[in-house]
Amino acid sequence: MDTDKIQTLLHHRPPYLMVSEVIEHSPEQITTLKQHEGDEGHLTGHFPGHPVVPGAMMQELCTQSAGILLTVHHSPVKDYDSRTTKGHALGVLHKVKNARYLKMASPQRPLTAQVELVHSIDNLFEFKARVLQDENLVAKMTFQLLNLSDSVLDI
């Protein structure tokens, strides 16, 4: 899946777009890749001279990956396009239930997110995720996303 297709499925745009590539997906799981360019704002100050991918951005990689899974496989809107579809917000972060950061992640090497849909009730979806670098587990988390109609959003 190319960047244009990813941006059709997500509202996020560079420099906040964390998914560089979708490796595989099904209704229950998605595997994605993030290759940092090196000049993203969240890297330049974290930490000068020795950049480390912030844990919050690893969570965001997993959240955006889950958002793609929801948009492709669990959208209430047929042929959803983030640029033109109005009336729905898909994959809104509801809760981070648990997050563990096990190792430092370098922005010089790709991160892989493996995200699995654990269960869903109506418009609430619970996921578990793993972030790997060089096949080593660097983070794991569980979180919930919501699919919402714009009518319930207060923004």
Find the angle CA(100)-CA(93)-CA(11) to the nearest 5 degrees.
Answer: 120
Residue labelled with tokens 């919050």: 56
What would the mean pLDDT of 112-139 be, rounded to a whole number?
Answer: 97
- Rg of the Cα trace of the chain? 15
pLDDT of residue 151: 65
pLDDT of residue 36: 93
Integer Cα distance of 74 and 43 in angstroms:
33
Lowest-confidence range among 17-26, 45-54, 127-136?
45-54
CB atoms within 10 A of CB 148: 17
CATH pick for 3-152 out of 3.40.1190.20, 1.10.10.10, 3.30.1330.40, 3.10.129.10 = 3.10.129.10
pLDDT at 155 over 70: no
Domain-wise residue ranges, the chain: 3-152
Note the pLDDT tens digit of each residue in 10-32.
989 988 899 999 999 999 999 99
- Closest to 32 (Cα-Cα) out of 50, 52, 10: 10
CB atoms within 10 A of CB 113: 26
Note the pLDDT tens digit of each residue in 78-109.
888 999 988 777 889 999 999 999 999 999 99
